[in-house]
Structure 1
Amino acid sequence: MYEATLKRVFGYESFRPGQRDIIHAVIEGQDVLAVMPTGAGKSLTFQLPSYIKNQGLTVIVSPLLSLIEDQMLHIRERGERGVARLTSMESAEEKQDIINHLKRYRFLYLSPEQLAVPYVTRALANVKIQMLVIDEAHCISQWGHEFRPEYARLGELRKQIGSPQCMAVTATAPEGVKQDIIEKLALFSPEQFVHSANRPEIRLLVERLEKEKKLERLKELIREIPKPAVVYTATRREAEALAFELEDALFYHGGMSTEDRRLVQSQFLRDEVSVMVCTSAFGMGVNKDNVRSVVHFQLPATVEAYMQEIGRAGRDGQPAFAVLLYADGDERIQQFLIDGQYPKDEDMRLAYFERENGTSIAQLPRLLRMNEEDPKFLLLKQLLTERSLQEALDWVKERKRDRYRQLGQMMDYALIRTCRRDYLLRYFSEQTVDQEECCDVCGPIPFPDTPQIVRKNVTEWKIRLTQIFSFE
């Protein structure tokens, strides 16, 4: 039955390793936690059971609009019309029409924030939900309080819509994150499918150099490595600056308009440009199998983030390269970013004092000189409603300590003199492996003699926009 549906609906002859076992557990009604590497076919494991069971709506919670758009595009390309989304892009009228006709759909994609909207939660509680899927479930642990508070509420929201069967999927999750996912989603005796985090096709390299030489080395490296390539950096400003320094490169970050991000991404996907310089905003939902190299110009904040980002390379199974450029002191950028994600002690004390004296929450942004949409203020608002002042101060201190510890683990990876792959696998509680062309510590890792140069049809994005909207 499974193979017949796979062929009829998806056009595939056979399953990838691990997919069939996960699908069987889902069809048997089990809650499931599936940790599968990027490119292993996670979406099929929750889409195929919908056609076999055919007992209601599959609700998929996803963190990014680009992820949702990508998956919906592939579903519609198969001829499936019973798919809808609730995101910030739909008008109130469009959302209401979807809510009024939920029984039309097989799949409903939405963000955690949309699931938390009361009228959406009520509507979903009144329809048959076959399964609730939490895609990129590691975000529950990483973003659950500081950035996307609704992630921390997913277990509560699941109860509000009738506690349907639940599946959590992600590409990377060390033991602590797995436990976080299980607890916060209230998964009941979940079947756990944890595939190796190892990507044997990716060669791991770290280059230590002086800070003032990093840019020149990056320019040289971009000429040497096979392409297409993705260059990750820590800040939006640096992404833009590096893109202008490099040949055949565009930049991408969360501060760009939706239209500009879509256009730049499409140029990279169509091989019109060979290098994408970006922040961590680029990656999830980008379905490009032939990325040959991922370069980190700055130290990532966590090992999990690093593994997610280098996982963009080599999804076709062909040799790929992950290069980290590290200079002493690079960690200070991440330390600065960590500190900037939490309210200061003095701001917290002032906010609690003002609330005790009758100041409304709506008045606090002006008093604290914060934007009401600033993640720091959203976090502070949540703390005000859930914790005493001392509890809030202690919680922020502990969270920052955890973030610094995670950054320290990423620094250890950059500085170790033993096998880098072994370090990563031990981090994810896996056995070490032996393989050729492993990492720069184990032996020389040569780049191909003739890097794969993408011959592009150069179209600068602003010119493209002019062409699209010109009426002359």
Structure 2
Amino acid sequence: MMIFVPTRKIGEALQKYLREQRLETAFYHSQLGDAWKREQLLKRFSGESRPELNRIICTSAFGMGLDIKNVRLVVHWQHPSSIEDYLQEFGRAGRDGKASAAVLLHDRADARRDIGLLRFMADRAVGNAQLSPADALIASNHKAAQIDQMARLVTKNGCFREALVGYFTDSSRTTRRSLSTWLLEFVFAERGVRMQTADCCDFCQQRLISKQGQLAFIGKVLAN
């Protein structure tokens, strides 16, 4: 399991909390000792050294160097600064082709705080790049737009998976089926929500629970 965090401070707080829950978890970041120590930590996580690690916390910038094929779960403590970054990071899971999961945690009530943190980090990175004032403004605006775009994707209503795929493929969602079509599929077909058991996203899970309740009601009506 990999847990992505936006800052070292947040990672250290999470590491402390997990330790208090008796879940000792290594934390990989830029200021972790020297290169040898970081390399040894990676080897333990990849199973090349002992004792092995099956979970690790990492900052977004340095977690990109982790390329472990059997990662089953990737967790984001909050959404990253761009959709492209999110794709690269959750892509750490399931590189061996086996079933894996990606979980993105977010709190609508604290969304402004999370966005503010990402913008602060982006502005600091732009400031450290020693760009001209004009180029710095362009870079800052571009990063802010990417952060806002990712935030909208996370908080919008609808299937998160479809929205994510649509961003990269520029595909539009199919036309919504009518109620009569949906009822015909329920009565005569073996497809539809009765067969839907795979996890997708929070929106789809809530929709599935709601439709299962509707199906139970319609089934009772058709039985009478």
Q: Distance in 1 between matches of 2:40 and 2:95?
A: 23
Matches within 5 A, 1:31-430: 229-246=1-18, 247-256=23-32, 257-270=34-47, 272-327=52-107, 328=110, 329-343=113-127, 376=128, 379-380=129-130, 383=131, 392-430=132-170
Alpha-carbon displacement from aligned partner over 1:442-467 (angstroms, at most 9, x marks no partner): 126xxxxxxxxxxxxxxxxxxxxxxx
Give, in angstroms, the shift of residue 424 of structure 1.
1.0
Q: Distance in 1 between matches of 2:124 and 2:61?
A: 18
Q: Are the counterparts in 2 of residues 422 and 432 from structure 1 also a CA contact under 8 Å?
A: no
Give, in angstroms, the shift of residue 284 of structure 1.
3.4
The corresponding residue for 1:440 is 202
Q: Distance in 2 between matches of 1:308 and 1:424?
A: 13
Give, in angstroms, the shift of residue 263 of structure 1.
1.4
SS of aligned partner of 2:126: coil
Give, in angstroms, the shift of residue 267 of structure 1.
1.4
- CA 1:393 to 1:281, structure 2 compared with 1: closer, same or farther past 3 Å? closer
Q: Distance in 2 between matches of 1:254 and 1:433?
A: 41
Letter in 2 for 1:440: D
Give, in angstroms, the shift of residue 296 of structure 1.
0.9
Matches within 5 A, 1:4-43: none
TM-score (norm 2): 0.70
Q: Distance in 2 between matches of 1:412 and 1:288?
A: 30
Runs of 4+ in 1 over 6 A off after TM superposition: 432-435
TM-score (norm 1): 0.34
Q: Distance in 1 between matches of 2:161 and 2:152?
A: 13
- CA 1:326 to 1:311, structure 2 compared with 1: closer, same or farther past 3 Å? same
Whichever structure has more strand as a proportion of its residues is 1
Q: Distance in 2 between matches of 1:431 and 1:322?
A: 22
Letter in 1 for 2:147: L
User: Which structure 1 residue ranges, 5 or more long, are not aligned?
Assistant: 1-228, 344-375, 384-391, 445-472
Q: Distance in 1 between matches of 2:17 and 2:78?
A: 16
Whichever structure has more helix as a proportion of its residues is 2
SS of aligned partner of 1:330: helix
Give, in angstroms, the shift of residue 248 of structure 1.
3.3
Q: Distance in 2 between matches of 1:282 and 1:432?
A: 34
Letter in 1 for 2:2: V
Larger radius of gyration: 1
- Report % sequence identity: 35
Q: Distance in 2 between matches of 1:238 and 1:258?
A: 22
Give, in angstroms, the shift of residue 313 of structure 1.
0.6
Give, in angstroms, the shift of residue 308 of structure 1.
0.4
Q: Distance in 2 between matches of 1:432 and 1:421?
A: 13
Q: Are the counterparts in 1 of residues 28 and 63 from structure 2 also a CA contact under 8 Å?
A: no
SS of aligned partner of 1:340: helix
